[in-house]
Chains A and B, each alone.
Chain A
Amino acid sequence: GAGVSQTPSNKVTEKGKYVELRCDPISGHTALYWYRQSLGQGPEFLIYFQGTGAADDSGLPNDRFFAVRPEGSVSTLKIQRTERGDSAVYLCASTLAGLPTDTQYFGPGTRLTVL
């Protein structure tokens, strides 16, 4: 596609529910990143995929958060037993090769609200 897309754009859920957030990277990009942006803050790293494997998941806050990228393209971020503190904008980015000098192209984000 022309850019990184994320669905849904907005998600409202109740405390304790399960949610899935989807990211479609730019076609051909091997590296995919998830970030979380809370109100008034910069994006914070969650997890990084190189191909199908998670190369770095050190940013996942706890075991309620999980992400997959089974075919090396689309990725899904999964959050179990959501808490109000999970409310944030979840951003996805992709790069061609995952090099530190690569430009990360960001999607518009998914705004998650946990009531």
Chain B
Amino acid sequence: AQSVTQLGSHVSVSEGALVLLRCNYSSSVPPYLFWYVQYPNQGLQLLLKYTSAATLVKGINGFEAEFKKSETSFHLTKPSAHMRDAAEYFCAVSDPNTDKLIFGTGTRLQVFP
């Protein structure tokens, strides 16, 4: 069965600092992995996804993530945080049989000026 674990329910950074949000997965088959962002009072929006092509995936708003099979990780990074990046971030894995998404518990990113 597929699952994801997000370490750190809250992450705080200063504006301009590196953002690192952690996600580890468990999967019996090669996984498809996703990062979604949820701004206050808005729906989930896809940041990026890994579908077994390039292991370094670039997404919107300057975010990227690297698939590391040896570490079963898919951490999300951004070199320089902006105030507008403050939101909830969810890592998810796709179930290959039913295509449903299995989400982590989320990480709330706070950005301080």
Interface size on B, residues (CB 8 A): 26
Contact with A along B1-44 (1 / 0, CB 8 A): 00000000100000000000000000000001010100001111
Task: Kindly list chain A residues whose C-beta atoms are within 8 Å of the C-beta of B99.
Answer: 31, 48, 95, 98-100, 102
Contact assessment for B105 and A56 in the assembled complex, using a CB-CB cutoff below 8 Å: no
Contact assessment for A55 and B106 in the assembled complex, using a CB-CB cutoff below 8 Å: no
Contact of A108 among B9, B43, B94 (CB under 8 A): B43
Residue A104, interface by CB 8 Å:
yes
Contact assessment for B42 and A43 in the assembled complex, using a CB-CB cutoff below 8 Å: no
Contact assessment for A56 and B100 in the assembled complex, using a CB-CB cutoff below 8 Å: yes
State in angstroms the CA–CA spacing of A103 and B35 once bound together. Answer: 11
Contact assessment for B42 and A108 in the assembled complex, using a CB-CB cutoff below 8 Å: yes
Interface centre among B45, B98, B102, B103 (most CB of A within 10 A): B98
State in angstroms the CA–CA spacing of A98 and B100 once bound together. Answer: 9
Task: Kindly list chain A residues whose C-beta atoms are within 8 Å of the C-beta of B87.
Answer: none
Q: Count contacts between A and B, CB distance < 8 Å.
A: 65
The main secondary structure of chain A at its interface with chain B is: loop
Contact assessment for A101 and B49 in the assembled complex, using a CB-CB cutoff below 8 Å: yes
Task: Kindly list chain A residues whose C-beta atoms are within 8 Å of the C-beta of B46.
Answer: 103-105
- Tell me whether A59 and B100 are in contact in the complex, defined as CB-CB below 8 angstroms, given that A100-B32, A109-B43 are known contacts: yes
Task: Kindly list chain B residues whose C-beta atoms are within 8 Å of the C-beta of A42.
Answer: 90, 92, 103-106
Task: Kindly list chain B residues whose C-beta atoms are within 8 Å of the C-beta of A62.
Answer: none
In B41-59, the 8 Å CB interface with A consists of: 41-46, 49, 51
Contact assessment for A33 and B43 in the assembled complex, using a CB-CB cutoff below 8 Å: no
Contact assessment for B43 and A103 in the assembled complex, using a CB-CB cutoff below 8 Å: no
**What is the minimal beta-carbon distance from B92 to any residue of chain A, in angstroms?**
8
Contact assessment for B43 and A91 in the assembled complex, using a CB-CB cutoff below 8 Å: yes
Task: Kindly list chain B residues whose C-beta atoms are within 8 Å of the C-beta of A107.
Answer: 43
Task: Kindly list chain B residues whose C-beta atoms are within 8 Å of the C-beta of A44.
Answer: 103
Q: Which residues of B contact A (CB under 8 A)?
A: 9, 32, 34, 36, 41-46, 49, 51, 90, 92, 94-96, 98-106
Excluding A42-B105, A56-B100, A108-B41, 12 further A-B contacts by CB distance (< 8 Å) are: A35-B103, A42-B92, A43-B44, A44-B103, A45-B102, A48-B99, A55-B98, A91-B43, A100-B94, A104-B46, A104-B101, A106-B43
